[in-house]
Chain A
Amino acid sequence: MRSVLFLFLFCVTLKGLAQEKLVIDGYVKDSKNGESIIGATIYKVGSNLGATSNEYGFYSLTLPKGPHTIAVSLIGFRTYTFSINLEKSITKNFELSEEGTNLDEVVVSAEAEDKNVKSVEMSVAKLDIKQINKIPALLGEVDVIRAIQLLPGVTTVGEGASGFNVRGGNIDQNLILLDEAPVYNSSHLFGFFSVFNPDAVKDVKLIKGGIPSQYGGRVSSILDVRMKEGNSKRPAVTGGVGTIFSRLSIEAPIIKDKASFIIAGRRSYLDALVKPFAKSTSPIKNADFYFYDLTAKLNYRINDKNTVFASGYLGRDIFGATAFKFNWGNTTATTRWNHIFNKKLFLNTTAFYSNYNYILSFGTNNGQAFNWNSNIVNYSFKPDFTLYYNSKNTIRFGAQALYYDFLPYNATGTFLDGSKASFKADRRYGVEYSAYIGNEQKLLPRLTIEYGLRVSMYNYLGKGKAYYFRDTIPNTTRPLNETRTYAAGKLIKDYINPEPRFSANYVVNSFSSVKVSYNRMAQYIQLISNTAASTPLDVYTIASNNLKPLIADQGSVGYFRNFKQNMFETSVELYYKYLKNQLDYIDNADLFINPTVENQLIQGLGRAYGSEFYVKKNKGKLQGWVAYTLSKTQRLVRGISNDNWFLSRYDRTHVLNTSLNYDITKNLNVSANFVYLTGVPGTFPNSKVQIQNLNIPYNTDGIRNNYRIPAYHRMDVGLTYNVNMEKHWKRKANRRSFYRRVFGFETEGIQSPRPIFSNLVKNHEMSYVLSVYNVYNRRNPFSIYFRTKAGEPNQTEAVRFSIVGSFVPAITYNFKF
């Protein structure tokens, strides 16, 4: 590893020696709330010398001595330009202010907004929380995960299904990071809402391909969600009252411009609304059904060189009735330390803890009971260095140790006579070590390449039992051959995987470029789930002596072109992905509370390929995008579908996503989505067999996913009305004077905003969001299944199962002050 590093440094040194260079470094922040800005471009006007602010808003730009005109820009913000005569290296922090909604205010900059063309990144989708807020949402609840499902290459098997599928990958192949800590179950209420509170989210970035070397651990995508730091300028309160939940977040500076916090919470309240009206005999009266989440973050800028962050998330879904209790949730905690060694070397060190667990218990009133829980815990430490070596090379290197500790199940049954039976699986342990180095190099004026290597090493450790199975006919339970017991910390099995990464961008001209990328990814943890939608009870399992790590190779090529001075961004991307050791299940697999669950699993191959077309309009009254994806996803597993390639459940031939919004006036915005997806494949019977009077569906060809369910299409509309606060207060004042005139008194305490609140009132914002999901009332099928008609043993029928059976209107009230 060390020699690789040396080789790297040597290569870049040769190029860097030529002339004396100076450095400008610093942070880019939002002038309104002091939030650091991710992805702003800082560049010398009229050249290709530039830098991008990182995840913490830090940038470092190397320039030759002399006069420069420098611009700092990002879509949605006014471009800041200044001239400087650079004599020595300096530190300069910028504060950008937001662009107004009025088109006239927009400063059109010809160069920086073409980042999609100029950047070496490809297969990346970024969503600003402001954009997400404008998308009409199910039940009016703004949702990060549902918003990214409108992007090319991202699909889901249907409403209510948790997670999302990227380029044909399983839901467990996405690394979902909340402030760098992995989130194992990204959904509330199965799949209807995501765990991310939009009020606390700053930035969402989905990387589908060309994944840089600092990321690893999942093969299909990285969803990097960054939380807000909390307003460092003034206290602010944001909240909303919606159909399903209410939200409230508070953010404030602790020390102005130095330390701030944000704390944001949500709770669903259907139970609180329904219960008072339920009869005392109704099961609802004693039932629990709600979910909540709490997100908090604290940051402290110790000095110019050191900043620390602490952030945490706690969320839980709770269901219960007299006979059962069922709840699940994630907890994550992250601490980070940003350190600037010198103007060129930036370090972020992250330590995190992540825990996903569930509890299911049920019992009868005569004392019988069953309790079951499971959890997966992660601890990790990762230093990540960025070396802004010179204007042509930015080197990123670092390492990570990730410790897995999980309990597949712990179940206890209590019988009538009070005796207990306990089934507890051994806890399982694994450590994933990785080290990486990558360089983004401006090789030629028109050619930028990013190359890197990540090496991941995985150890499956004791204490515990390792099961060894004999081979047998594929797709049947492999018989147990031997059980070996290992002491604590003893190595049971190890894997090592080099993961090369490469991407290149060739700029054809100022508005178009061609990009290519390749990445290999290794994944040491997979979700065991053989149901149509993943359930909260599904257990993750780590690589072991039986389960090999999942390996994926992906190549993509794309053409990016902007039109009308970056008003339109367009791109076409082609990708091909090949997966090894993809998990599948034997027939009649028994996946719950089974010590030898590994002999119920089989590993096979997967492949996915497709093309993604994307047009996005960034400016003007009408904004939004249209994306079309043509793709195919298949699997090959021994013993399944006659050993032939079969369509994966995530295969969607055509996907069209449209999301548009239009500003009618300054305060009134209308938005709409339209999606069309080819129906997911399903396995349909071609005959039935009668055994013991049961009509059992049977497929004589044995082909899996031989049919498709009908297409899914849906349109949603939304209307956002921002209350004009000036008029609002004027109206209130008028009302007061009316009272004074008519009744001769004033309502107490509201004469004028008190001084202490005047600042809040000045910044007061209020909006109403009216949305209708599934406007034209289509019953989109989640699945088609087959059953015997009730009461008629010889009659069989096909049933369309839909999750959302009608249009869903909703109104949400949001406020901010």
Chain B
Amino acid sequence: MKKTIKYILIFTSILFFTACEDVVQIKLDEGSKLFVIDAFVTNMRSTQIIRVVTNDTYFSNREAPPVSDAQVILKDLTAQKQFTFIYAGNGNYAYTISANDTIAKPNHQYELNVTIDGTTYTSLTTQKRPAGLDSVQAIYNDGSGGFGPPGKSDYNCLLWAKDKVDAVSDYYWIKTFRNDTLLGASTDLNLSIDGTNGPVTDLPVDSTVFTPPIVFLGFNRFFPGSSCKVEIHSIAKETYYFFVQAASQINNGGLFATTPENVKTNIVTPSGAKTKAIGWFNMSSVASQKIVIPK
């Protein structure tokens, strides 16, 4: 919704004036050191990764500097189990679960403990229920319309999924992979409340079937032979707003830019800690499908 409004405002404002943008060199101060915990754990039967890194200068143009000496423990408070993540290099802490089990279970409560230099940073969250994913459909675009350049044929991938209609609002993060590569730019962030693009906040909107524009899996084009994989992550409400805020900060330009602000964190730094930790912890249920467009 916010995005739609922004696009309309931008569209109307450029009708008359062609605003211009130039990349410029700016000297920025260096911020103090922070630990950044990136903990998005899913119920998928694969190796789960939690990243512990530090912040970096804004123009560093490299992957974030890793923190290699952290202890990362994930606790299932409901089942009273705990999982110790082992350092796998490059800031990644990994846990591989046996083939027929998952770490994350719906409605279980989880606690994350990350200990660095004797300080334990914590976070709490609850796993959400999964969405009902039906199928992914590839639709041929003959080049006469759609999102592609005119005259060029391609495929658009369409998501068919259902949201449970009840009093509980579900928040989804829909990740699209083209040829197994995540379309991961901030503009590709596809977020949904109850399968709609959420007329703003907390309104009692339910749609059984996911609706446009959520169902368009990236405005990217697919071609014969490409694969399209979709993952619907059921996320916590707070995680949804974390992404909304992050997306608005990453590309915050134009006439109607908002005042820049720091993204929120759900990682708790204990009082007296020498270094603050920020980041996000979320446990999600994932529904996934993959299709390959025939040649």
Which residues does A use to contact B, with CB under 8 Å? 160-161, 189-190, 192, 270, 281, 287, 289, 319, 321, 324, 326, 360, 362, 364, 366, 368, 370, 411, 413, 415-416, 421, 423, 530-533, 535, 537, 585, 587-588, 590, 592-594, 649, 682-702, 704, 779, 782-788, 790-791, 793-805
Q: Bound state CA distance, A694 and B249, in angstroms?
A: 10
From B17, B61, B246, B252, A160 is in contact (CB under 8 Å) with: B17
Does B117 interact with chain A (Cβ within 8 Å)?
no
Q: Bound state CA distance, A46 and B19, in angstroms?
A: 58
Q: By the criterion CB–CB under 8 Å, are B185 and A779 in contact?
A: no
Given A421-B203, A684-B28, A801-B254; A702-B262 close (CB under 8 Å): yes
Q: By the criterion CB–CB under 8 Å, are B253 and A785 in contact?
A: yes
Q: By the criterion CB–CB under 8 Å, are A691 and B36 in contact?
A: yes
Q: By the criterion CB–CB under 8 Å, are A687 and B255 in contact?
A: no
Chain A proximity mask over B227-252: 1 for CB below 8 Å, otherwise 0: 00000000000000100111111111
Q: Bound state CA distance, A395 and B231, in angstroms?
A: 75
Q: Bound state CA distance, A721 and B278, in angstroms?
A: 65
Q: What are 24 A-B residue pairs whose CB atoms fall within 8 Å in the complex?
A: A160-B13, A190-B255, A289-B16, A370-B199, A532-B254, A532-B257, A588-B261, A592-B2, A593-B199, A682-B260, A686-B58, A688-B56, A688-B60, A690-B36, A690-B64, A691-B38, A694-B189, A694-B247, A696-B246, A698-B262, A785-B260, A794-B61, A797-B59, A799-B22
Does B100 interact with chain A (Cβ within 8 Å)?
no
Q: Which of A321, A688, A689, A690 has the most CB of B within 10 A?
A: A689
Q: Bound state CA distance, A190 and B30, in angstroms?
A: 37
Does B184 interact with chain A (Cβ within 8 Å)?
yes
Chain B residues whose CB sits within 8 angstroms of the CB of A362 once the complex forms? 4, 8
Q: By the criterion CB–CB under 8 Å, are A803 and B280 in contact?
A: no
Chain A residues whose CB sits within 8 angstroms of the CB of B21 once the complex forms? 799-802
Interface residue SS majority, chain B: loop
4 A-B pairs with the lowest CB-CB distances in the bound complex, closest first: A700-B31, A686-B31, A805-B20, A687-B31
Chain A residues whose CB sits within 8 angstroms of the CB of B201 once the complex forms? 590, 593-594
Chain A residues whose CB sits within 8 angstroms of the CB of B264 once the complex forms? 587-588
Q: Bound state CA distance, A688 and B199, in angstroms?
A: 30
Chain B residues whose CB sits within 8 angstroms of the CB of A794 once the complex forms? 61-63
Chain A residues whose CB sits within 8 angstroms of the CB of B122 once the complex forms? none
Q: By the criterion CB–CB under 8 Å, are B253 and A798 in contact?
A: no
A-contacting residues, B1-58, CB 8 Å: 1-2, 4-5, 8-9, 11-13, 15-26, 28-32, 34, 36, 38, 40, 51, 53, 55-58
Chain A residues whose CB sits within 8 angstroms of the CB of B248 once the complex forms? 588
Given A160-B13, A798-B25; A687-B260 close (CB under 8 Å): no
Q: By the criterion CB–CB under 8 Å, are B199 and A360 in contact?
A: no
Chain B residues whose CB sits within 8 angstroms of the CB of A796 once the complex forms? 58-61
A749 to chain B, nearest CB (A): 40
Does B205 interact with chain A (Cβ within 8 Å)?
yes
Q: By the criterion CB–CB under 8 Å, are A415 and B31 in contact?
A: no
Q: Bound state CA distance, A574 and B51, in angstroms?
A: 56
B268 to chain A, nearest CB (A): 13
Does B258 interact with chain A (Cβ within 8 Å)?
yes
A-contacting residues, B208-243, CB 8 Å: 209, 211-212, 241
A271 to chain B, nearest CB (A): 9
Q: Bound state CA distance, A779 and B21, in angstroms?
A: 9
Q: By the criterion CB–CB under 8 Å, are A685 and B260 in contact?
A: yes
Given A364-B212, A693-B184, A796-B58; A592-B5 close (CB under 8 Å): yes
Q: Bound state CA distance, A651 and B77, in angstroms?
A: 51
Q: By the criterion CB–CB under 8 Å, are B250 and A697 in contact?
A: yes
A269 to chain B, nearest CB (A): 12
Q: By the criterion CB–CB under 8 Å, are A689 and B22 in contact?
A: no
Does B130 interact with chain A (Cβ within 8 Å)?
no
A273 to chain B, nearest CB (A): 12
Does B207 interact with chain A (Cβ within 8 Å)?
yes
Q: Bound state CA distance, A415 and B28, in angstroms?
A: 47
Chain A residues whose CB sits within 8 angstroms of the CB of B15 once the complex forms? 287, 289, 319
* B40 nearest CB neighbor, chain A only: A692
B276 to chain A, nearest CB (A): 8
From B13, B24, B57, B250, A696 is in contact (CB under 8 Å) with: B250
Chain B residues whose CB sits within 8 angstroms of the CB of A783 once the complex forms? 253-254, 257
Given A593-B200, A688-B56, A698-B31; A799-B253 close (CB under 8 Å): yes
From B9, B23, B212, B260, A697 is in contact (CB under 8 Å) with: B260
Q: By the criterion CB–CB under 8 Å, are B253 and A686 in contact?
A: no
Does B182 interact with chain A (Cβ within 8 Å)?
yes
Q: By the criterion CB–CB under 8 Å, are B257 and A590 in contact?
A: no
Q: By the criterion CB–CB under 8 Å, are A802 and B19 in contact?
A: yes
A315 to chain B, nearest CB (A): 16
Q: By the criterion CB–CB under 8 Å, are A190 and B185 in contact?
A: no
* B244 nearest CB neighbor, chain A only: A588
* B211 nearest CB neighbor, chain A only: A416
From B26, B249, B259, A798 is in contact (CB under 8 Å) with: B26
Q: Bound state CA distance, A782 and B19, in angstroms?
A: 10
List 12 additional A-B contacts (Cβ < 8 Å) besides A683-B260, A698-B278, A782-B255.
A160-B255, A190-B255, A287-B15, A360-B8, A531-B257, A588-B245, A687-B30, A687-B34, A689-B278, A784-B24, A798-B24, A805-B19
Q: Bound state CA distance, A178 and B186, in angstroms?
A: 45
From A592, A594, A694, B250 is in contact (CB under 8 Å) with: A694
Chain A residues whose CB sits within 8 angstroms of the CB of B32 once the complex forms? 700-701
Q: Bound state CA distance, A508 and B38, in angstroms?
A: 71
From A324, A585, A698, A782, B259 is in contact (CB under 8 Å) with: A585
* B206 nearest CB neighbor, chain A only: A421
Q: Bound state CA distance, A810 and B182, in angstroms?
A: 49
Q: By the criterion CB–CB under 8 Å, are A161 and B34 in contact?
A: no
Chain A residues whose CB sits within 8 angstroms of the CB of B36 once the complex forms? 689-691
B65 to chain A, nearest CB (A): 10
* A585 nearest CB neighbor, chain B only: B259
Chain A residues whose CB sits within 8 angstroms of the CB of B253 once the complex forms? 783, 785, 787, 799, 801
Chain A residues whose CB sits within 8 angstroms of the CB of B94 once the complex forms? none
B216 to chain A, nearest CB (A): 11
Q: By the criterion CB–CB under 8 Å, are A324 and B8 in contact?
A: yes
Q: By the criterion CB–CB under 8 Å, are A700 and B55 in contact?
A: yes
Chain B residues whose CB sits within 8 angstroms of the CB of A697 once the complex forms? 58, 249-250, 260
Does B116 interact with chain A (Cβ within 8 Å)?
no
Chain A residues whose CB sits within 8 angstroms of the CB of B263 once the complex forms? 689, 691, 696, 698
Chain B residues whose CB sits within 8 angstroms of the CB of A779 once the complex forms? 20, 22
Q: Bound state CA distance, A649 and B257, in angstroms?
A: 13
* A695 nearest CB neighbor, chain B only: B250
Q: By the criterion CB–CB under 8 Å, are A537 and B9 in contact?
A: yes
Q: By the criterion CB–CB under 8 Å, are B278 and A805 in contact?
A: no
Q: Bound state CA distance, A700 and B278, in angstroms?
A: 10
Given A416-B209, A683-B260; A688-B55 close (CB under 8 Å): yes
Chain A residues whose CB sits within 8 angstroms of the CB of B212 once the complex forms? 364, 366, 368
Chain B residues whose CB sits within 8 angstroms of the CB of A691 once the complex forms? 36, 38, 246, 263, 279-280
Chain A residues whose CB sits within 8 angstroms of the CB of B55 once the complex forms? 687-689, 698, 700
Chain B residues whose CB sits within 8 angstroms of the CB of A787 once the complex forms? 250-253
Q: By the criterion CB–CB under 8 Å, are A415 and B207 in contact?
A: yes
Chain A residues whose CB sits within 8 angstroms of the CB of B211 once the complex forms? 368, 415-416
Chain B residues whose CB sits within 8 angstroms of the CB of A692 once the complex forms? 38, 40, 184, 280
* A592 nearest CB neighbor, chain B only: B200
Q: Which of A189, A531, A694 has the most CB of B within 10 A?
A: A694
Q: By the criterion CB–CB under 8 Å, are A531 and B250 in contact?
A: no
From A326, A366, A700, A701, B12 is in contact (CB under 8 Å) with: A326
Q: Bound state CA distance, A687 and B251, in angstroms?
A: 15
A108 to chain B, nearest CB (A): 46
Q: By the criterion CB–CB under 8 Å, are A531 and B200 in contact?
A: no
Q: By the criterion CB–CB under 8 Å, are B23 and A799 in contact?
A: yes
Q: Bound state CA distance, A797 and B29, in angstroms?
A: 15
From B26, B205, B255, A533 is in contact (CB under 8 Å) with: B255
Q: Bound state CA distance, A697 and B252, in angstroms?
A: 10
* A366 nearest CB neighbor, chain B only: B212
Q: By the criterion CB–CB under 8 Å, are B200 and A192 in contact?
A: no
From A190, A592, A682, A688, B1 is in contact (CB under 8 Å) with: A592
